[in-house]
Structure 1
C-alpha cells in the first residue's frame, strides 16, 4: 500500500510538472528566422503562417523543410502535405542516424508516418528515400529543423526484407542474453528517455527499477508522453500500465524483427502478452507500430518507442506464453505484484 501511495503521489507531482503542451511562440519564430537566413525562404514564411496551428498540440517536434526549389517545382503545398513534414518528436541528428531502416516516424498528418530508409552502408540519413541534408538547420532541444531537397510523398511504400519465422521461449531469451552482467546504468536510461520525449516511462523506470533484475534483462516498449497523458486513467491503473509495456527479456531491434508474425511476448502483467504482426514491413505490437527502435539499450535493458499505449486487453490464448514470474536461474522477478 505504501508503495502504491508513493507511486501515486510521485505521479501527481510529475503530471503537473508536465503542463507544457505547446511549443513557445518565440521558438517557432526563431526557427523561421534561421530558415530565412539559411536560404529556405518559402518554408520560413510557411512556418510563420501555419506552425502555431500545427504545433499547438505538441510540446516538441522535428520539421523537415523542403528547399525553395521544391516549392517552385511543386507549388504551394496543401495543409495536409505540410503536416506530413512535421514529426511529433524531437530527433537529434545522432538519434535519427541510428534509427534502422523501416522505423516509423509519426507525423501530424493523422494516421500517416514517415519511414526511415537509411541502410547500414549509407553515409547519409534518408527518410522516405529522400536524403536529409546534414546537420539540423535549427535545434534548440525541443524543435529541430532539417533541410530536404523535395517534398515527401504521402503515398510512399516501404517494403522491408522478409523475416524468418521464429518464436519466443525462455531458452531463446537466455541464449540471446547469456552475457548480461548487470553493470548497466538505469540512471543513464532515465536521462536518455527524459531528453527523448519519454519522461513518463523514465519516471516509471526511476521509481520501480531498483536492485538487480534477472539475467535475461528486460525490454520496455515506451509510448511518448503525449500518448500516455491522453490514455492513462486513474492512479490505480499505473502499475498495470507499466507492467504491460515491459517484457522479461532483453530484445534489441535485430532480435525483434526476426520473430515471425503471431509470436507472443509475455509481459509482467499477468495474462497480458504482446502479439507481433507486420504491415507493409512495419513491426506492429498489439496493433501499435514500433517507430523508434533502440531508443536506449545497455547490458540490462532495451527501450523501443511505440506510437501509442499498448491496448489493455487480455490475450485469449495464454498457453503459449511463458510465465515471467520466475527467471531461468530461479530469482524472484523484480516486478512482483506484491511490491506495488
Structure 2
C-alpha cells in the first residue's frame, strides 16, 4: 500500500503541467488570424467562449465554420459550439493519418466527431464535411481548421459490420511472421512519455519489457489525465495497466477487420476486451479509440483511447457471446 501511495503522489506531482490552461494570448492570437482569414464570426465566438471552455485543457483543436454557415444557421447553441472543440491537438501530418471511423472526443459531453476520410482522398473529412487542407492557425497547442458548415450532432458513421473473427490467434501469428528482432520497445516508451501517456510509458518500461513475444503487443493507452482521474479506484495499479495491453500486435487495419463480438485477451489474467461498434465507430469495452496507430513499430502498436478500460456489464461479457468451444478468444498461453 505504501508503494501505491508513492505511485499516486508521483502521478499528481509529475502531471501538474497537464492541467494548465491554454494561455489567453494564444486564444486572442488565433482569433486575429481567423479574422484575417475571413472567419470573422468564429473569431468573435472564439474570443467569447474559448477561455472558459479551455481553462482545464492544455491543448485543443477547433473546427471553425465559415461566416456563411453562421449566417445560414443563426446563433448556435453553446453545446453545438462545444461540438466543434476537440480535446487534443491534431497536427496536419498526424491528422491525415487517422483512418475512417477514428473518433475524436469533443467538449460537448458524450459526443464525438468521426473521421470519414476515405483512403483515396487527399482531403480530410470529419462527419462527411471537408476540412481545410492545412490549419488556419497552429502554434503547437491550439490548432484551428476551417469547415464550410456546422457539424451535425446527429451524424452517424456507417462503417463495416463484420462477423466475429473465427481464429484471431492464427491471424496474429500470420500477420507477424516478418517481425524482426530489433530492440524497438524503448521507442514506444519514449513516444508515450512525450505524447501525454507518461503513466503508461512508466508501467511498460518497468513491467512488460521482458514479456513481449515475437507476436508483439497492442497497447490501448488512456491519457495521463484519465489515469489520474481513475487510478484511485484501483488498489493494485499493476493490474490497472496490464488490462490495457494485448499480447499480440494489431494495427488499426487489423482491428477494423474484426467483427462485433471478437474478444481480445490482455496481460491481466481473466480480463478481456470486447470489440463492438456504435454508429460504425469501433468500441473496446464501451471505450472508443480516438488516436489509432499513435505509435507503430515492428513490435509495438499504441492506440490512444478516450478513457480507461473497465469490466463490461454481464450482458456484454465474453461468456454471453461465446461458448467454451469458441475459438474467438485469444489464449495468452499460446504466446
Q: TM-score, normalised by structure 2?
A: 0.88
| Residues 116, 128 of structure 2: 8 Å contact kept | yes
| Residues 164, 261 of structure 2: 8 Å contact kept | no
| Distance (Å, rounded) in 2 between the aligned partners of 1:108 and 1:184 | 39
Return the offset for 1:11. 5.6
| Distance (Å, rounded) in 2 between the aligned partners of 1:291 and 1:275 | 17
Work out whether 1:25 is the aligned partner of 2:24.
yes
| Residues 244, 268 of structure 1: 8 Å contact kept | yes
Return the offset for 1:325. 4.7
Aligned to 1:190: 189
Distance verdict in 2 for CA 1:129–1:204, change over 3 Å: same
**Structure 2 unpaired stretches of 5+:** none
SS of the residue 1:208 aligns to: helix
What is the Cα-based RMSD across aligned positions, in Å? 2.4
Distance verdict in 2 for CA 1:75–1:234, change over 3 Å: closer
| 1:54-93 to 2 correspondences below 5 Å | 54-93=53-92
| Residues 90, 196 of structure 1: 8 Å contact kept | no
SS of the residue 2:133 aligns to: coil
Aligned to 2:241: 242
| Distance (Å, rounded) in 2 between the aligned partners of 1:191 and 1:144 | 24
| 1:70-219 to 2 correspondences below 5 Å | 70-183=69-182, 185-211=184-210, 213-219=212-218
| Distance (Å, rounded) in 2 between the aligned partners of 1:272 and 1:168 | 19
SS of the residue 2:332 aligns to: coil
SS of the residue 2:253 aligns to: helix
Q: Deviations over 1:23-72 (max 9, x none)?
A: 22222222222222322221111111111221123222111111222212
| Distance (Å, rounded) in 2 between the aligned partners of 1:163 and 1:260 | 4
| Residues 8, 235 of structure 1: 8 Å contact kept | no
| 1:186-335 to 2 correspondences below 5 Å | 186-211=185-210, 213-233=212-232, 236-312=235-311, 317=319, 319=324, 321-325=329-333, 327=335
Structure 1 residue runs of 4+, over 6 Å off? none
| Residues 167, 259 of structure 1: 8 Å contact kept | no
| Residues 163, 261 of structure 2: 8 Å contact kept | no
Return the offset for 1:234. 6.4
Aligned to 1:16: 13
SS of the residue 1:32 aligns to: helix
Aligned to 1:35: 34
Return the offset for 1:77. 1.2
Return the offset for 1:120. 0.6
Stretch moving more, 72-81 or 108-117:
72-81
Question: How many corresponding residue pairs?
Answer: 324
| Residues 274, 318 of structure 2: 8 Å contact kept | no
Return the offset for 1:211. 4.4
Return the offset for 1:250. 0.4
